[in-house]
């Protein structure tokens, strides 16, 4: 069965054709990174307009690349939750129109469940149950997964998502957007032990996850070094550090004083973020007595996180470690089409009046804790 996947929940427009939930025939992604970089973060209205322009040409391209016609597809799968409301609507409306015009079923997919499925797409042997660590720009959730759509929440961040923290720290350091890859790159050659950033409270069972304290610690470190933290209101959420002697920049793009040991700060910050995630993951595996971990979502592309998580899992009773492949960590439509296939085979077809659920907590707050 051939499923067309559509993903527009945030700032990436993505389309893919996947056969039987496993074989990727073609996939395309149009990133809006450069557009949003000038604002230091995603501007929702801009994101949805760009999706609107980009989506259908991408559908055409993916068909051409795979040598398939739209009439060959068996279903249309689309992300309808969670995400930015306008962005989700562009994908869902287009998917409805395609499904209706082609006379094929529509399947709506939860973006977080799809991130977890990305690891299965890569590794058909990967079995359930496993502890799923979803670390992205909007989410830091740890689940016990017992099937493609069966996930019980074990713990989640109390405040910022891990990716959001990388993005905010990168903005502070003035090293670019999105922050994760920028921090990873900047940390190369840096000393991970240079600054002992706090890892936050683990809580009695080790499951407590929080990133806002870490972000504040970086901010305080910069202040201690004499840097002025300026909020650039015209750029929305962008906050950047500035050496007192540097003239206030006219535009948002600026170069920091060379006096800041950027590599050490980035490496020390990254190490702290990695430690927080690894500690909570191991605690989760102990809590639910599960000896397999799946790491996924944009932050799962972080090399140091993959390295430390793999070693920590091995050291804890040889717990199995699986990570989504690098190209399927950040948002993509292969994971949507892949999971869409599984929903299709169990008959979870959406009706043409399906709506979007932008807020992850609308549904997930109801999740029982494992």
Which residues here bind Zn ion, judged by CB under 5 A? 136, 331
| Nearest to ligand KG4 of 73, 214 (CB atom) | 214
Residues that bind ligand KG4 (CB under 6 A): 10, 136-138, 163, 166-167, 178-181, 184, 297-299, 301-302, 330-331
Residue number with CB closer to ligand KG4 (180 or 340): 180
Contact between residue 181 and residue 193 where contact means Cβ atoms under 8 Å apart: no
Q: Least distance in Å: CB of 351 to ligand KG4?
A: 26
Please give the Cα distance from 131 to 292 (Å, whole number): 6
Partner touching 340 among Zn ion, ligand KG4, none, CB below 5 to 8 Å by kind: none
* Smallest separation (angstroms) from ligand KG4 to the CB of 164: 6
CB of 135 to ligand KG4, least distance (A): 8
User: Minimal distance in Å, beta carbon 242 to Zn ion?
Assistant: 32
- In terms of CB distance, is 160 or 331 closer to Zn ion? 331
3-state class (DSSP) for residue 143: strand
| Least distance in angstroms from the C-beta of 47 to ligand KG4 | 12
Are 167 and 242 in contact, with CB atoms under 8 Å apart? Answer: no
Q: Name the H helices within 316-355.
A: 334-345
Distance CA(117)–CA(3), nearest Å, equals 15
Residue 358 partner contact from ligand KG4, Zn ion, none using kind-dependent CB cut-offs of 5 to 8 Å: none
Question: Could you tell me the smallest distance in angstroms from the CB atom of residue 199 to ligand KG4?
Answer: 17
Whole-angstrom distance, CA of residue 64 vs CA of residue 263: 44
* Rounded least distance, CB 151 to Zn ion, Å: 15
- Please tell me what DSSP assigns to residue 368: P
- 3-state class of 15 per DSSP? strand
Closer by beta carbon to Zn ion, 141 or else 331: 331
User: Among ligand KG4, Zn ion, none, what binds residue 95 when CB lies within 5 to 8 Å by partner kind?
Assistant: none
Q: Which CB atom, from 66 or from 117, has the smaller least distance to ligand KG4? A: 117
CA distance 70 to 60: 9
List phi, psi (to 5°) of 266: -60, -45
Select 188 or 311, whichever has its Cβ closest to ligand KG4. Answer: 188
Residue 92 or 241 having the CB closest to Zn ion: 92
Q: Can you tell me the distance from the alpha carbon of 299 to that of 170, in angstroms, rounded to the nearest whole number?
A: 14
- Decide: 270 and 181 in contact? Cβ < 8 Å: no
| CB-based contacts of 247, cutoff 8 Å, min separation 6 | none
Sheet holding 106-110, edge to edge: 23-31, 12-19, 2-7, 75-81, 106-110
């Amino acid at each position: 069965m051939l499923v067309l996947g559509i993903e527009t929940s945030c700032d990436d427009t993505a389309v893919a054709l996947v056969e039987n939930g496993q074989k990727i025939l073609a996939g395309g992604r149009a990133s809006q990174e450069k557009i949003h970089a000038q604002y230091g973060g995603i501007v929702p209205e801009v994101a949805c307009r760009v999706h609107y322009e980009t989506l259908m040409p991408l559908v055409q391209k993916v068909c051409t690349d795979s040598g398939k016609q739209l009439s060959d597809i068996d279903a249309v799968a689309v992300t309808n939750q969670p995400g930015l409301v306008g962005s989700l609507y562009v994908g869902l409306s287009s998917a409805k129109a395609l499904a209706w015009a082609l006379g094929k079923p529509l399947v709506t997919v939860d973006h977080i469940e799809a991130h977890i499925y990305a690891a299965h797409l890569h590794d058909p042997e990967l079995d359930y149950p496993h502890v799923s660590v979803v670390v992205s720009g909007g989410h830091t959730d740890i689940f016990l997964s017992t099937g493609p759509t069966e996930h019980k929440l074990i713990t989640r961040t109390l405040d910022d998502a891990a990716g959001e923290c990388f993005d905010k720290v990168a903005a502070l350091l003035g090293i670019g957007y999105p922050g994760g890859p920028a921090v990873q790159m900047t940390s190369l050659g840096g000393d991970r032990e240079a600054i002992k950033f706090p890892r936050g409270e683990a809580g009695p069972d080790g499951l407590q996850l929080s990133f806002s304290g870490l972000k504040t610690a970086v901010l305080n470190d910069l202040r201690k070094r004499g840097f002025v933290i300026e909020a650039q209101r015209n750029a929305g959420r962008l906050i950047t550090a500035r050496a007192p002697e540097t003239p206030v920049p006219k535009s948002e793009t600026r170069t920091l004083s060379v006096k800041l040991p950027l590599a050490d700060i980035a490496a020390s910050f990254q190490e702290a973020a990695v430690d927080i995630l690894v500690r909570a993951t191991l605690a989760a595996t102990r809590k639910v007595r599960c000896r397999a971990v799946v790491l996924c979502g944009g932050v799962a592309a972080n090399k140091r996180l993959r390295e430390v998580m793999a070693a920590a899992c091995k050291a804890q009773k040889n717990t199995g470690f699986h990570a989504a492949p690098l190209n399927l960590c950040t948002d993509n439509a292969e994971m949507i089409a892949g999971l869409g296939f599984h929903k299709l085979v169990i008959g979870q077809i959406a009706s043409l009046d399906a709506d979007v659920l932008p807020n992850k907590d609308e549904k997930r707050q109801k999740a029982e804790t494992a």
